Homo-oligomer: A and B are copies of this chain.
Amino acid sequence: MPRNLDARAADFEAAFTALLADKRETSDDVNAVVTGILDDVRLRGDAALLDYTRRFDRLSLDATGLAIGAEEVTAAVAACDEETLTALRLAASRIEDFHRRQKPEGLSYTDAAGVRLGYRWTALAAVGLYVPGGTASYPSSVLMNALPAKVAGVERLVMVVPTPDGKLNPLVLAAARIAGVDEIYRIGGAQAVAALAYGTATIRPVDKIVGPGNAFVAAAKRQVFGTVGIDMIAGPSEILVVADGDNDPSWIAADLLSQAEHDTAAQSILITDDAAFGQKVAAAVEGHLATLPRAAIARESWESHGAIILVDSLDAAPALVDRVAPEHLELAVANPDALAERVRNAGAIFLGRYTPEAIGDYVGGPNHVLPTARSARFSSGLGVLDFMKRTTLLGCDAAALHRIGPAAVTLAKSEGLGAHGLSVALRVNMPRAE
Protein backbone atom coordinates (compact mmCIF):
# COMPACT_ATOMS: atom_id res chain seq x y z
CA MET A 1 0.00 0.00 0.00
CA PRO A 2 1.21 3.49 -0.72
CA ARG A 3 1.16 5.97 2.13
CA ASN A 4 -2.09 7.80 2.72
CA LEU A 5 -1.69 11.32 4.06
CA ASP A 6 -4.48 13.65 5.07
CA ALA A 7 -3.68 17.36 5.18
CA ARG A 8 -6.38 17.81 7.82
CA ALA A 9 -4.82 15.28 10.20
CA ALA A 10 -2.86 16.43 13.22
CA ASP A 11 0.18 14.40 12.21
CA PHE A 12 0.21 15.64 8.60
CA GLU A 13 3.25 17.90 8.89
CA ALA A 14 5.30 15.09 10.42
CA ALA A 15 4.12 12.59 7.81
CA PHE A 16 4.76 14.98 4.92
CA THR A 17 8.23 15.83 6.23
CA ALA A 18 8.97 12.11 6.48
CA LEU A 19 7.80 11.67 2.89
CA LEU A 20 10.17 14.43 1.76
CA ALA A 21 13.03 12.85 3.68
CA ASP A 22 12.34 9.42 2.17
CA LYS A 23 15.72 7.99 1.13
CA ARG A 24 15.12 6.14 -2.08
CA GLU A 25 18.60 5.75 -3.45
CA THR A 26 21.04 3.14 -2.33
CA SER A 27 24.53 4.41 -2.96
CA ASP A 28 27.04 1.69 -3.61
CA ASP A 29 30.50 2.94 -2.79
CA VAL A 30 32.26 2.25 -6.04
CA ASN A 31 34.64 5.20 -5.84
CA ALA A 32 37.83 3.23 -5.26
CA VAL A 33 37.16 0.86 -8.15
CA VAL A 34 36.31 3.78 -10.41
CA THR A 35 39.47 5.69 -9.46
CA GLY A 36 41.53 2.66 -10.45
CA ILE A 37 39.84 2.39 -13.84
CA LEU A 38 40.16 6.13 -14.54
CA ASP A 39 43.87 6.10 -13.68
CA ASP A 40 44.47 3.05 -15.81
CA VAL A 41 42.75 4.47 -18.90
CA ARG A 42 44.54 7.76 -18.39
CA LEU A 43 47.87 5.93 -18.29
CA ARG A 44 47.41 3.12 -20.82
CA GLY A 45 44.76 4.60 -23.10
CA ASP A 46 43.30 2.25 -25.71
CA ALA A 47 45.00 -0.80 -24.21
CA ALA A 48 43.21 -0.30 -20.89
CA LEU A 49 39.95 0.44 -22.67
CA LEU A 50 40.18 -2.83 -24.60
CA ASP A 51 41.05 -4.78 -21.43
CA TYR A 52 38.04 -3.47 -19.51
CA THR A 53 35.75 -4.03 -22.46
CA ARG A 54 36.92 -7.64 -22.64
CA ARG A 55 36.38 -8.05 -18.91
CA PHE A 56 33.08 -6.22 -18.35
CA ASP A 57 31.35 -6.55 -21.71
CA ARG A 58 32.86 -9.94 -22.66
CA LEU A 59 33.89 -8.44 -25.97
CA SER A 60 37.33 -8.80 -27.56
CA LEU A 61 38.27 -5.92 -29.82
CA ASP A 62 41.37 -4.27 -31.14
CA ALA A 63 41.59 -0.46 -31.27
CA THR A 64 40.29 -0.36 -34.85
CA GLY A 65 37.13 -2.11 -33.65
CA LEU A 66 36.23 0.52 -31.04
CA ALA A 67 34.39 2.79 -33.44
CA ILE A 68 30.96 1.96 -34.79
CA GLY A 69 31.19 3.12 -38.39
CA ALA A 70 28.61 4.57 -40.74
CA GLU A 71 27.96 1.23 -42.48
CA GLU A 72 27.15 -0.43 -39.19
CA VAL A 73 24.74 2.36 -38.32
CA THR A 74 23.11 2.11 -41.74
CA ALA A 75 22.65 -1.64 -41.26
CA ALA A 76 21.14 -1.08 -37.82
CA VAL A 77 18.67 1.47 -39.18
CA ALA A 78 17.67 -0.99 -41.89
CA ALA A 79 16.94 -3.59 -39.19
CA CYS A 80 14.51 -1.25 -37.36
CA ASP A 81 10.77 -1.39 -37.60
CA GLU A 82 9.57 1.38 -39.94
CA GLU A 83 6.71 2.53 -37.67
CA THR A 84 9.16 2.98 -34.80
CA LEU A 85 11.57 4.91 -37.03
CA THR A 86 8.75 7.20 -38.12
CA ALA A 87 7.83 7.81 -34.48
CA LEU A 88 11.48 8.51 -33.62
CA ARG A 89 11.69 11.03 -36.48
CA LEU A 90 8.54 12.79 -35.29
CA ALA A 91 9.98 12.92 -31.77
CA ALA A 92 13.29 14.28 -33.07
CA SER A 93 11.64 16.96 -35.12
CA ARG A 94 9.47 18.12 -32.21
CA ILE A 95 12.38 18.07 -29.75
CA GLU A 96 14.58 19.98 -32.18
CA ASP A 97 11.90 22.59 -32.79
CA PHE A 98 11.36 23.22 -29.09
CA HIS A 99 15.08 23.42 -28.36
CA ARG A 100 15.82 25.78 -31.26
CA ARG A 101 13.71 28.34 -29.44
CA GLN A 102 16.07 28.15 -26.46
CA LYS A 103 19.08 29.49 -28.33
CA PRO A 104 20.21 32.51 -26.33
CA GLU A 105 20.91 35.95 -27.69
CA GLY A 106 24.20 37.72 -27.20
CA LEU A 107 24.42 41.26 -25.84
CA SER A 108 26.39 44.29 -27.03
CA TYR A 109 26.01 47.92 -26.02
CA THR A 110 27.94 51.02 -25.05
CA ASP A 111 26.83 52.64 -21.84
CA ALA A 112 26.66 56.28 -20.76
CA ALA A 113 30.27 56.21 -19.54
CA GLY A 114 31.44 55.11 -22.98
CA VAL A 115 32.23 51.59 -21.84
CA ARG A 116 31.57 48.82 -24.37
CA LEU A 117 29.82 45.91 -22.68
CA GLY A 118 28.32 42.62 -23.65
CA TYR A 119 28.56 38.90 -23.78
CA ARG A 120 28.36 36.23 -26.37
CA TRP A 121 27.37 32.61 -26.23
CA THR A 122 29.49 29.95 -27.91
CA ALA A 123 28.90 26.24 -28.23
CA LEU A 124 31.13 23.74 -26.51
CA ALA A 125 33.55 22.33 -29.05
CA ALA A 126 33.14 18.65 -28.18
CA VAL A 127 30.64 16.73 -26.04
CA GLY A 128 30.47 13.10 -24.97
CA LEU A 129 27.13 11.34 -24.65
CA TYR A 130 26.93 8.26 -22.44
CA VAL A 131 24.22 5.76 -23.40
CA PRO A 132 23.65 2.76 -21.14
CA GLY A 133 23.57 -0.75 -22.59
CA GLY A 134 21.02 -3.45 -21.93
CA THR A 135 17.44 -2.71 -20.90
CA ALA A 136 18.12 0.94 -19.96
CA SER A 137 19.27 1.67 -23.50
CA TYR A 138 16.55 4.10 -24.53
CA PRO A 139 16.53 5.64 -28.01
CA SER A 140 14.39 8.49 -26.68
CA SER A 141 17.19 9.45 -24.28
CA VAL A 142 19.67 9.57 -27.15
CA LEU A 143 17.44 12.15 -28.83
CA MET A 144 16.91 14.13 -25.62
CA ASN A 145 20.64 14.39 -24.90
CA ALA A 146 22.01 14.69 -28.43
CA LEU A 147 19.60 17.15 -30.03
CA PRO A 148 20.14 20.06 -27.61
CA ALA A 149 23.90 19.68 -28.15
CA LYS A 150 23.54 19.78 -31.92
CA VAL A 151 21.07 22.69 -31.74
CA ALA A 152 23.62 24.53 -29.56
CA GLY A 153 26.18 24.08 -32.32
CA VAL A 154 28.45 21.44 -30.78
CA GLU A 155 30.71 20.38 -33.63
CA ARG A 156 31.84 17.04 -32.30
CA LEU A 157 29.25 14.93 -30.48
CA VAL A 158 30.72 11.61 -29.40
CA MET A 159 28.48 8.79 -28.23
CA VAL A 160 29.67 5.84 -26.16
CA VAL A 161 27.50 2.79 -25.59
CA PRO A 162 28.53 -0.54 -24.10
CA THR A 163 27.63 -3.64 -26.11
CA PRO A 164 27.63 -6.50 -23.60
CA ASP A 165 28.34 -9.73 -25.49
CA GLY A 166 28.34 -7.62 -28.63
CA LYS A 167 24.62 -6.81 -28.35
CA LEU A 168 23.29 -3.36 -29.12
CA ASN A 169 19.76 -2.01 -29.57
CA PRO A 170 19.61 -0.95 -33.25
CA LEU A 171 17.14 1.82 -32.33
CA VAL A 172 19.89 3.49 -30.29
CA LEU A 173 22.03 3.70 -33.42
CA ALA A 174 19.03 4.89 -35.41
CA ALA A 175 18.39 7.65 -32.86
CA ALA A 176 22.08 8.63 -33.01
CA ARG A 177 21.88 8.92 -36.79
CA ILE A 178 18.66 10.95 -36.65
CA ALA A 179 20.15 13.28 -34.02
CA GLY A 180 23.39 13.83 -35.92
CA VAL A 181 25.86 12.17 -33.54
CA ASP A 182 29.34 12.45 -35.08
CA GLU A 183 31.28 9.52 -33.59
CA ILE A 184 30.17 6.34 -31.81
CA TYR A 185 32.30 3.93 -29.76
CA ARG A 186 31.24 0.54 -28.35
CA ILE A 187 32.51 1.14 -24.82
CA GLY A 188 30.82 1.74 -21.49
CA GLY A 189 31.32 2.02 -17.75
CA ALA A 190 33.91 4.14 -16.00
CA GLN A 191 36.39 3.26 -18.76
CA ALA A 192 34.24 5.02 -21.35
CA VAL A 193 33.96 8.12 -19.15
CA ALA A 194 37.76 8.08 -18.74
CA ALA A 195 38.29 7.85 -22.50
CA LEU A 196 35.99 10.81 -23.09
CA ALA A 197 37.59 12.92 -20.34
CA TYR A 198 41.27 12.17 -20.94
CA GLY A 199 41.31 10.92 -24.51
CA THR A 200 43.14 7.89 -25.90
CA ALA A 201 44.97 7.28 -29.20
CA THR A 202 41.63 6.43 -30.81
CA ILE A 203 39.23 8.77 -28.99
CA ARG A 204 39.99 12.47 -28.68
CA PRO A 205 38.89 14.04 -25.37
CA VAL A 206 35.70 16.08 -25.07
CA ASP A 207 34.80 19.17 -23.03
CA LYS A 208 31.68 17.85 -21.29
CA ILE A 209 30.04 14.48 -20.67
CA VAL A 210 26.27 14.03 -20.41
CA GLY A 211 23.86 11.15 -20.20
CA PRO A 212 22.60 8.62 -17.66
CA GLY A 213 24.48 5.60 -16.36
CA ASN A 214 24.81 3.15 -13.50
CA ALA A 215 26.63 3.79 -10.20
CA PHE A 216 30.05 3.30 -11.83
CA VAL A 217 29.29 5.80 -14.57
CA ALA A 218 27.89 8.31 -12.08
CA ALA A 219 30.96 8.00 -9.84
CA ALA A 220 33.28 8.31 -12.83
CA LYS A 221 31.48 11.48 -13.96
CA ARG A 222 31.82 12.98 -10.50
CA GLN A 223 35.53 12.16 -10.46
CA VAL A 224 36.34 13.64 -13.87
CA PHE A 225 34.31 16.78 -13.15
CA GLY A 226 36.68 19.71 -13.45
CA THR A 227 38.71 18.07 -16.22
CA VAL A 228 35.46 18.15 -18.18
CA GLY A 229 31.98 19.45 -17.44
CA ILE A 230 29.23 17.00 -16.52
CA ASP A 231 25.45 17.18 -16.43
CA MET A 232 23.48 16.60 -13.28
CA ILE A 233 23.60 13.11 -11.79
CA ALA A 234 20.06 11.85 -12.28
CA GLY A 235 18.31 10.13 -9.41
CA PRO A 236 15.25 7.86 -9.60
CA SER A 237 12.28 9.34 -11.43
CA GLU A 238 9.37 11.10 -9.75
CA ILE A 239 5.87 12.24 -10.60
CA LEU A 240 3.44 14.30 -8.61
CA VAL A 241 -0.11 14.36 -9.98
CA VAL A 242 -2.59 16.96 -8.76
CA ALA A 243 -6.04 15.68 -9.73
CA ASP A 244 -9.61 16.54 -8.86
CA GLY A 245 -12.46 14.04 -8.75
CA ASP A 246 -13.50 14.72 -12.35
CA ASN A 247 -10.66 12.62 -13.77
CA ASP A 248 -10.85 9.06 -14.93
CA PRO A 249 -9.14 7.14 -12.10
CA SER A 250 -7.78 4.66 -14.62
CA TRP A 251 -5.92 7.42 -16.50
CA ILE A 252 -4.38 8.88 -13.35
CA ALA A 253 -3.41 5.41 -12.13
CA ALA A 254 -1.57 4.78 -15.42
CA ASP A 255 0.25 8.12 -15.02
CA LEU A 256 1.41 7.22 -11.51
CA LEU A 257 2.60 3.83 -12.75
CA SER A 258 4.46 5.32 -15.69
CA GLN A 259 7.07 6.62 -13.22
CA ALA A 260 6.82 3.65 -10.89
CA GLU A 261 7.67 1.20 -13.67
CA HIS A 262 11.06 2.89 -14.28
CA ASP A 263 12.68 1.83 -11.06
CA THR A 264 11.77 0.38 -7.67
CA ALA A 265 13.21 3.62 -6.23
CA ALA A 266 10.92 5.84 -8.33
CA GLN A 267 8.25 7.85 -6.53
CA SER A 268 4.65 8.58 -7.53
CA ILE A 269 2.50 10.94 -5.48
CA LEU A 270 -1.13 11.90 -5.96
CA ILE A 271 -2.60 15.03 -4.40
CA THR A 272 -6.37 15.17 -4.54
CA ASP A 273 -9.21 16.93 -2.78
CA ASP A 274 -11.54 13.95 -3.26
CA ALA A 275 -11.03 11.01 -0.90
CA ALA A 276 -13.26 8.66 -2.88
CA PHE A 277 -11.38 9.51 -6.07
CA GLY A 278 -8.11 8.73 -4.33
CA GLN A 279 -9.43 5.30 -3.41
CA LYS A 280 -10.58 4.69 -6.97
CA VAL A 281 -7.11 5.57 -8.25
CA ALA A 282 -5.54 3.16 -5.77
CA ALA A 283 -7.89 0.44 -6.99
CA ALA A 284 -7.13 1.26 -10.64
CA VAL A 285 -3.41 0.97 -9.90
CA GLU A 286 -4.06 -2.58 -8.71
CA GLY A 287 -6.03 -3.28 -11.86
CA HIS A 288 -3.26 -2.06 -14.16
CA LEU A 289 -0.60 -3.88 -12.19
CA ALA A 290 -2.31 -7.17 -13.03
CA THR A 291 -1.45 -6.69 -16.69
CA LEU A 292 1.66 -4.53 -17.00
CA PRO A 293 4.92 -6.12 -18.17
CA ARG A 294 7.01 -4.29 -15.55
CA ALA A 295 4.45 -4.82 -12.77
CA ALA A 296 6.94 -6.16 -10.22
CA ILE A 297 9.11 -3.05 -10.41
CA ALA A 298 6.11 -0.72 -10.49
CA ARG A 299 4.46 -2.42 -7.52
CA GLU A 300 7.57 -2.20 -5.37
CA SER A 301 7.98 1.50 -6.19
CA TRP A 302 4.31 2.26 -5.53
CA GLU A 303 4.13 0.35 -2.28
CA SER A 304 7.46 1.59 -0.92
CA HIS A 305 7.46 5.20 -2.05
CA GLY A 306 4.03 6.03 -3.44
CA ALA A 307 1.66 8.36 -1.59
CA ILE A 308 -1.88 9.67 -1.85
CA ILE A 309 -2.28 13.02 -0.16
CA LEU A 310 -5.76 14.26 0.60
CA VAL A 311 -6.22 18.03 0.86
CA ASP A 312 -9.24 20.14 1.74
CA SER A 313 -8.92 22.10 -1.44
CA LEU A 314 -6.52 22.02 -4.38
CA ASP A 315 -5.64 25.58 -3.36
CA ALA A 316 -3.37 23.89 -0.84
CA ALA A 317 -1.52 21.97 -3.56
CA PRO A 318 1.05 24.55 -4.78
CA ALA A 319 2.65 24.95 -1.34
CA LEU A 320 3.05 21.17 -1.03
CA VAL A 321 4.28 20.87 -4.61
CA ASP A 322 6.98 23.46 -3.95
CA ARG A 323 8.25 21.47 -1.00
CA VAL A 324 8.37 18.24 -3.04
CA ALA A 325 9.84 20.10 -6.07
CA PRO A 326 8.92 17.16 -8.30
CA GLU A 327 10.71 16.21 -11.50
CA HIS A 328 7.32 15.87 -13.24
CA LEU A 329 4.17 17.70 -12.17
CA GLU A 330 0.85 16.79 -13.76
CA LEU A 331 -2.07 19.16 -13.21
CA ALA A 332 -5.15 17.13 -14.11
CA VAL A 333 -7.69 19.83 -13.30
CA ALA A 334 -10.11 22.01 -15.22
CA ASN A 335 -7.94 25.13 -15.10
CA PRO A 336 -4.36 23.92 -14.94
CA ASP A 337 -2.80 27.26 -15.93
CA ALA A 338 -4.05 29.01 -12.81
CA LEU A 339 -2.57 26.29 -10.63
CA ALA A 340 0.70 26.22 -12.62
CA GLU A 341 1.14 29.96 -12.06
CA ARG A 342 1.25 29.36 -8.34
CA VAL A 343 3.96 26.67 -8.51
CA ARG A 344 7.60 27.66 -8.15
CA ASN A 345 9.46 24.34 -8.03
CA ALA A 346 8.97 21.67 -10.71
CA GLY A 347 11.14 20.31 -13.51
CA ALA A 348 8.30 20.09 -16.03
CA ILE A 349 4.58 20.78 -15.78
CA PHE A 350 1.97 18.83 -17.72
CA LEU A 351 -1.19 20.84 -18.16
CA GLY A 352 -4.67 19.37 -18.08
CA ARG A 353 -6.34 16.01 -18.30
CA TYR A 354 -5.05 15.14 -21.76
CA THR A 355 -1.35 15.61 -21.06
CA PRO A 356 -0.02 12.43 -19.50
CA GLU A 357 3.60 12.72 -18.48
CA ALA A 358 4.64 10.03 -20.98
CA ILE A 359 3.90 12.45 -23.83
CA GLY A 360 6.77 14.53 -22.53
CA ASP A 361 9.04 11.51 -22.39
CA TYR A 362 8.80 11.04 -26.12
CA VAL A 363 7.15 13.46 -28.45
CA GLY A 364 6.11 16.61 -26.58
CA GLY A 365 9.23 18.57 -27.42
CA PRO A 366 10.60 19.69 -24.02
CA ASN A 367 13.46 17.66 -22.60
CA HIS A 368 12.84 14.58 -20.50
CA VAL A 369 16.15 14.94 -18.66
CA LEU A 370 14.90 16.76 -15.57
CA PRO A 371 16.02 17.54 -12.03
CA THR A 372 15.23 14.83 -9.47
CA ALA A 373 15.43 14.50 -5.69
CA ARG A 374 14.04 17.98 -4.93
CA SER A 375 16.74 19.66 -7.04
CA ALA A 376 14.07 21.45 -9.11
CA ARG A 377 14.35 23.98 -6.27
CA PHE A 378 17.65 25.10 -7.80
CA SER A 379 18.16 23.50 -11.20
CA SER A 380 16.56 23.06 -14.61
CA GLY A 381 16.06 20.29 -17.10
CA LEU A 382 18.61 19.72 -19.84
CA GLY A 383 18.58 22.33 -22.57
CA VAL A 384 20.58 24.17 -25.18
CA LEU A 385 22.30 26.35 -22.55
CA ASP A 386 23.93 23.24 -21.09
CA PHE A 387 25.95 22.97 -24.29
CA MET A 388 26.93 26.63 -24.53
CA LYS A 389 28.94 29.00 -22.40
CA ARG A 390 28.94 32.74 -22.06
CA THR A 391 32.02 34.94 -22.44
CA THR A 392 31.65 38.50 -21.18
CA LEU A 393 33.18 41.41 -23.08
CA LEU A 394 34.41 44.69 -21.68
CA GLY A 395 36.11 47.50 -23.58
CA CYS A 396 37.25 50.93 -22.41
CA ASP A 397 38.94 53.61 -24.41
CA ALA A 398 41.08 56.21 -22.63
CA ALA A 399 38.11 58.50 -21.96
CA ALA A 400 35.92 55.75 -20.53
CA LEU A 401 38.74 54.48 -18.34
CA HIS A 402 39.25 57.97 -16.97
CA ARG A 403 35.57 58.00 -15.99
CA ILE A 404 35.32 54.68 -14.17
CA GLY A 405 38.97 53.88 -13.42
CA PRO A 406 39.46 56.02 -10.30
CA ALA A 407 36.72 54.10 -8.46
CA ALA A 408 38.50 50.85 -9.31
CA VAL A 409 41.74 52.26 -7.91
CA THR A 410 39.92 53.23 -4.70
CA LEU A 411 38.41 49.75 -4.31
CA ALA A 412 41.70 47.98 -5.11
CA LYS A 413 43.33 50.06 -2.41
CA SER A 414 40.62 49.16 0.10
CA GLU A 415 41.24 45.47 -0.65
CA GLY A 416 45.02 45.80 -0.42
CA LEU A 417 45.58 44.71 -4.02
CA GLY A 418 48.37 47.00 -5.21
CA ALA A 419 48.93 45.65 -8.71
CA HIS A 420 45.20 45.85 -9.40
CA GLY A 421 45.24 49.53 -8.57
CA LEU A 422 48.53 50.08 -10.38
CA SER A 423 47.28 48.56 -13.64
CA VAL A 424 44.50 51.16 -13.75
CA ALA A 425 46.41 54.09 -12.23
CA LEU A 426 49.20 53.84 -14.82
CA ARG A 427 46.69 54.18 -17.65
CA VAL A 428 44.88 57.18 -16.20
CA ASN A 429 48.01 58.93 -14.98
CA MET A 430 46.97 58.69 -11.37
CA PRO A 431 49.49 58.61 -8.60
CA ARG A 432 50.26 55.13 -7.27
CA ALA A 433 47.39 54.13 -5.10
CA GLU A 434 48.81 51.96 -2.38
Which one, B360, B366, B371, B432, contacts A119 given CB within 8 A? B366
Whether A414 pairs with B139 at a CB distance below 8 angstroms is yes
Query: Contacts of A391 on B, CB cut-off 8 Å?
Result: 343, 346-349, 376, 380
The 19 listed contacts between A and B (C-beta, < 8 Å) are A87-B407, A87-B408, A91-B407, A101-B107, A104-B104, A115-B364, A139-B411, A229-B379, A254-B426, A258-B419, A294-B416, A294-B419, A349-B393, A360-B394, A362-B411, A362-B420, A363-B404, A380-B389, A380-B391
Whether B392 pairs with A381 at a CB distance below 8 angstroms is yes
Q: Does A9 contact B (CB under 8 A)?
A: no
Which one, B122, B354, B380, B416, contacts A400 given CB within 8 A? B354
> What are the 8 A-B residue pairs with the smallest beta carbon separation, nearest first?
A229-B378, A351-B395, A366-B392, A257-B419, A254-B423, A87-B407, A356-B423, A380-B390
Known: A258-B417, A358-B424, A365-B117. A383 touches B390 (CB 8 A): yes
Interface-forming stretch among A55-63, A78-86, A310-318? A78-86
Name the residue on B nearest A402 (C-beta). B354
Copies of the chain in the assembly = 2
Contact with B along A133-156 (1 / 0, CB 8 A): 001001110000000000000000
Assembled-state Cα–Cα distance A417/B336 (Å): 27
Name the residue on B nearest A293 (C-beta). B418
Query: Contacts of A262 on B, CB cut-off 8 Å?
Result: 417
Q: Does A434 contact B (CB under 8 A)?
A: yes
Q: Does A65 contact B (CB under 8 A)?
A: no
Known: A115-B365, A375-B226. A359 touches B419 (CB 8 A): no
CB-CB contacts below 8 Å: A329-347 with B: 336, 340, 343-347
Name the residue on B nearest A233 (C-beta). B226
